[in-house]
Amino acid sequence: MASIIPRGTKWQVKVRVKGQPIQSRTFATKYEAEQWAAQESKPVEGPTVGDLFRKYVDQVAPSRRNGKWERSVLSRMLRTEKKLCAVAANSLGKSHLAEWRDRRVIEVATSTVGRELDAIASVYRVAIDEWDMGLTSNPVHGFRRPKLPLPRDVRLSVGDDGRLIAAAIEFNREIAPAIILAIETAMRQGEIAKLRWEYIDLEARTALLPMTKNGTARKVPLSTRAIEALTWCPPPHTGRVFKLTQYAMKYAFREVRQQCGLGNIRFHDLRHEAASRLFEKGLNVMEVAAITGHKNLKMLQRYTHLRAEDLAKKLG
């Protein structure tokens, strides 16, 4: 149903279609208003974008490793992106995505928008391959994504390690070895929180991560300092190494950094610090990538922040 109302010298159109948000536009002539109203009043044929999202959340996300995050993203879009979700699935184009992207980048970080586009692309990939809905192209492919922000260039200064660890021991003894492991091994916070004693080989000086963020296992070498840090963990040395959950570990680190006056340091920055130190020790790119688990060397470059002063010393 459409209503066309004169507004001064122009014509305002409001279109109401069941199950879709009200659309409104203003035109210079009544003829243009009528043409647009007729086009937009046509009911959507076939499944909508929202229908795809709901089916993916119900049938696909529960079995995927990152399904909890995908379910969260798609559920939010079903609640708040009514206009986008009302578009016919076979009609979703780059213009729809561009309108959504340009508004969304004002609300969240560009990296978040990129990950949400990944979720939409996954939905369409499954719909094309498995659902026989007549969809032949993925609208996200070739779509211009928002530019990623410059990587954080945050390094620990001389003495920061000691201050962090001393404060950590005072606050919660478990967070201290976790900090050391992050700096020595470049493991992610989630990987450290899920570390288990049965996957640690003290003789071979390795820790096995059976499942990592990129979907594969990784065996991490342990330095002498990392081995020593593990001895700080209270017995029994069975099951999980750290009794702290990932959330509790994040909270503990936040408190410790504040006590040290290092409020700008995030736990994930320790992974960046570790990658940089591995290069400074003389390891080559492939060796560092094997430790950090990076499949994309360009991403590894974003993680590495070599100090110009140290490079100058190498130049002589």
Active site residues: 188, 213, 268, 271, 294, 303
What are 265's two structure tokens? Answer: 């340091």
Q: Helical H runs in the chain? A: 30-40, 49-59, 67-80, 82-85, 94-107, 110-130, 160-171, 175-185, 189-193, 224-231, 246-259, 267-280, 285-292, 297-303, 308-315
Contacts of 176 (CB under 8 A, 6+ apart): 165, 168, 169, 229, 232
Q: φ and ψ at 109, to 5 degrees?
A: -65, 150
What are 186's two structure tokens? Answer: 């470049």
At CB < 8 A and 24+ separation, what contacts does 109-118 make?
109/149, 110/146, 110/147, 110/148, 110/149, 111/148, 111/149, 113/145, 113/146, 114/145, 114/146, 114/148, 115/73, 116/73, 116/77, 117/143, 117/145
Q: What order do you get walking across the sheet with 200-201 strand by strand?
A: 200-201, 206-209, 218-221
Residue showing tokens 């992207």:
101
